[in-house]
Amino acid sequence: MTLAPKNLQTIESHVLDLQRLHPSASGDFTSLLNDISFAAKVVSRDVTKAGLVEDILGATDEENVQGEVIQKLDDFAISVFLKCLGRRGQVCIMGSEELADPVFADTSQGTGKYIVVFDPLDGSSNIDANVSVGTIFGIWKRKSRLAQINQDDLLQPGRELVASGYIIYGSSTMFVYTAGKGVHGFTLDPSIGEFLLSHENIMTPFQSQIYSVNEAYEPRWSPEVREVLRQLKYGRGSKLSTRKDAPTEGAGMSSRYIGSLVADFHRNLLYGGIYLYPPTTSHPNGKLRLMCEAAPLALIVENAGGYASDGQRPILDVTPDDLHMRVPLYIGSREDVMWVETLLSKGSSAL
């Protein structure tokens, strides 16, 4: 006899239960999250069989606003999310990492209550090698009256997020989101086309044994960041002399870096870990985007008991000055990230 899945709760019913907590809710948020989960199913269908679909792998001959080559699946994912989001007119502005300017949506059928900023296919340069990739999204509420929409509606800090989440297209497709009442993960059952609750109330370990960083950039980091990585390896508080003595056990950390943020973040969320993307000489403000990557994941990790910092302050407190603003990112287990932030805030005195 085939056992029934652990939990037959779909994402739609989970969000409806959330909606019942707000009697005055219009249903716009529920339908928006359902639009996102539908778009995720469409993208998942093509990402998971990309090797078999004619002419969907590889790069286009275009670059995005970041100067990064757009993969064919990036184009596909952008078009799917733009088409699926806000079909009830509940979204007034959509922003994407891949598009230079925000898209003002048709609100004639609805309230235009929400702003959605998303990275449609993060890590897409890995797709041809069958590495897990992901979608990241953040949902804010409009502040001004519908007729007076302006930049302030778009450029809001993560602290103002109504909800955020990500979809990871990996060995299975998972949808993870928070609306401020816990972090919940749903696994796609392709045979019925539903995301079913598989990880309720995710809490990330307070301290961890994993760090994720691209160590090839060490020559481009500041001395303070190099010291953070040295102490992650040799042990917190260890002195430089350690490096000249006989080999030691070090701090016992493991290094895991997939080069796909959603995959690295998701593993660290479940197992405990810290992901670091420090400033470099080539990216003095870091490479990752505040609105469509750092802030949505910061809301997730804080609702799971973790923390996210730009090295000086909470990511959620950073107000964007531009849709594509970049920030340094240190995110994951609370104790680890707080320790990094403290060490970096000390500056050269910590060396």
Binding residues for ligand P6P, per CB under 6 A?
A: 122-123, 125, 214, 259-261, 264, 287
Q: Return the number of the residue (119 or 227) whose C-beta is nearest ligand P6P.
A: 119
Min dist. Cβ of residue 260 to ligand P6P (A) = 5
Min dist. Cβ of residue 276 to ligand P6P (A) = 10
Min dist. Cβ of residue 315 to ligand P6P (A) = 15
Instruction: Please give the Cα distance from 6 to 12 (Å, whole number).
Output: 17
Q: Return the number of the residue (188 or 276) whose C-beta is nearest ligand P6P.
A: 276
Min dist. Cβ of residue 243 to ligand P6P (A) = 24
Min dist. Cβ of residue 304 to ligand P6P (A) = 19
Among 202, 43, 71, which residue's Cα sits nearest to residue 135? 43
Q: Return the number of the residue (179 or 228) whose C-beta is nearest ligand P6P.
A: 228
Q: Return the number of the residue (126 or 345) whose C-beta is nearest ligand P6P.
A: 126
- Contact 121/135 with Cβ under 8 angstroms? yes
> Tokens in use for 322?
């531009």
> Tokens in use for 240?
């430089």
Q: Return the number of the residue (261 or 299) whose C-beta is nearest ligand P6P.
A: 261
Min dist. Cβ of residue 264 to ligand P6P (A) = 6
Q: Return the number of the residue (86 or 158) whose C-beta is nearest ligand P6P.
A: 158
- Contact 58/128 with Cβ under 8 angstroms? yes
> Tokens in use for 209?
């044994």
